[in-house]
């Protein structure tokens, strides 16, 4: 698992910890003295397009489509007065919202243009369906609108995302059946879009494994025993870890290698993100 690329997309089902993992990874990279940008997309709790300096080597961007579109137009026109006239035109503003794929194009395009300003950009992608739609929207735009600078930019963006020397996809899942199945579906779609750039997998919040692993032919019910109800806190941990081990066979059956992060809690001197950042370093996810 190589998470030292210029663009690092953190993908997966909602609720698996993408935001925490992406922030912790960005923090880990920035602690190495690398200029790092941590990106969220259209967070309603933060000002649109806000760029916040967290530390001398770490920034956070709330990437928002209207702000990104205005920046893109200004970049392409290059003349402030003409840019202002263009953006004030009602038809142009309507097209900015209605043109197929333009919303996704300007969001990803903003990040694509920013990559020259940072050593690393870590992207907290929306949940599976919307995250995929952003790539598909950019691809659709490149097919629908042939010719012109925007078409060429869309093609260049897709080429960058498919280049394993520049971009990495990390799929985050939980050791539970539904998130794992959804992550496998996501992986299939990403493989079709970017066949030369395979994703890696991170299983988040895993419980400690049982001392003795059950046989592959056994069901989790037979592993857990006569009663599925935990008799104590220790029994709960054991039953849960056994069930998780069974669920992870879904990845193993597909011959997918994955890295696991344990179930972490904040401590008195460290919040969850700093604890998770240390865990990332300890598991040698970066190499």
Q: Which domains does the chain have, with CATH numbers?
A: 7-66+101-282 (3.40.50.300)
Report how far apart, in Å, the C-alpha atoms of 286 and of each of 8, 26, 141, 176, 277 are: 12, 11, 34, 25, 11
pTM: predicted TM-score of the whole model, two decimal places: 0.87
Write out the chain's pLDDT in tens, 287 residues.
678 899 999 999 999 999 999 999 999 999 999 999 999 999 998 998 999 999 999 999 999 988 888 777 777 666 565 555 544 666 555 555 555 577 888 899 999 999 999 999 999 999 999 999 999 989 988 888 788 888 899 999 999 999 999 999 999 999 999 999 999 999 999 999 999 999 999 999 998 776 555 555 556 665 555 566 766 777 777 778 888 888 999 999 999 999 999 888 777 677 889 889 988 887 755 55
- The residues, any chain, with a CB within 8 Å of residue 273's CB and separated by 6 or more, are 20, 23, 24, 27
Report how far apart, in Å, the C-alpha atoms of 238 and of each of 205, 243, 244 are: 15, 9, 10
What strands lie across the sheet with 51-55, from one edge to the other? 51-55, 58-63, 36-41, 120-124, 7-11, 167-173, 200-206, 258-262
Question: How many other CB atoms are found less than 10 A from the CB of residue 257?
Answer: 9
Residues in the chain: 287
Report how far apart, in Å, the C-alpha atoms of 249 and of each of 186, 228, 253 are: 17, 20, 6
Pick left, alpha or beta for residue 159 (phi over 0 → left; psi -120 to 50 → alpha; otherwise beta): alpha
| Residue found under tokens 């899942």 | 173
- With H, G, I as helix, E, B as strand and everything else as coil, classify residue 204: strand
């Amino acid at each position: 698992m190589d998470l030292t690329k210029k663009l690092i997309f953190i993908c997966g089902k909602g609720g698996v910890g993408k935001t925490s993992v992406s922030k912790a990874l960005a923090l880990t990279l920035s602690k190495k003295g690398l200029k790092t940008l941590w990106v969220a997309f259209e967070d309603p709790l933060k000002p649109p397009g806000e760029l916040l300096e967290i530390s001398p080597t770490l920034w956070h961007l709330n990437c928002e489509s209207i702000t990104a579109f205005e920046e893109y137009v200004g970049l392409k026109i290059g003349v402030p007065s003409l840019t202002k006239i263009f953006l004030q035109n009602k038809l142009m503003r309507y097209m900015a919202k209605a043109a197929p794929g333009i919303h996704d194009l300007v969001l990803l395009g903003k990040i694509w243009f920013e990559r020259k300003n940072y050593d690393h950009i870590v992207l907290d992608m929306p949940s599976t369906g919307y995250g995929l739609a952003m790539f598909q929207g950019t691809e659709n735009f490149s097919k629908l609108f042939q010719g012109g600078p925007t078409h060429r930019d869309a093609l260049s963006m897709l080429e960058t995302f498919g280049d394993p020397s520049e971009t990495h996809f990390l799929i985050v899942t939980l050791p539970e059946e539904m998130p794992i199945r959804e992550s496998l579906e996501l992986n299939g779609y990403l493989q079709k879009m970017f066949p030369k750039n395979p994703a890696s997998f991170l299983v988040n919040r895993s419980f400690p494994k049982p001392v003795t692993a059950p046989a592959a032919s056994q069901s989790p019910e037979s592993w857990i025993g006569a009663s599925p109800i935990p008799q104590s806190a220790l029994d709960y941990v054991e039953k849960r870890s056994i069930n998780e081990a069974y669920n992870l066979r879904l990845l193993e059956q597909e011959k997918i290698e994955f890295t696991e992060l344990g179930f972490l809690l904040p401590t008195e001197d460290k919040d969850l993100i700093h604890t998770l950042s240390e865990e990332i370093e300890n598991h040698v996810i970066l190499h």
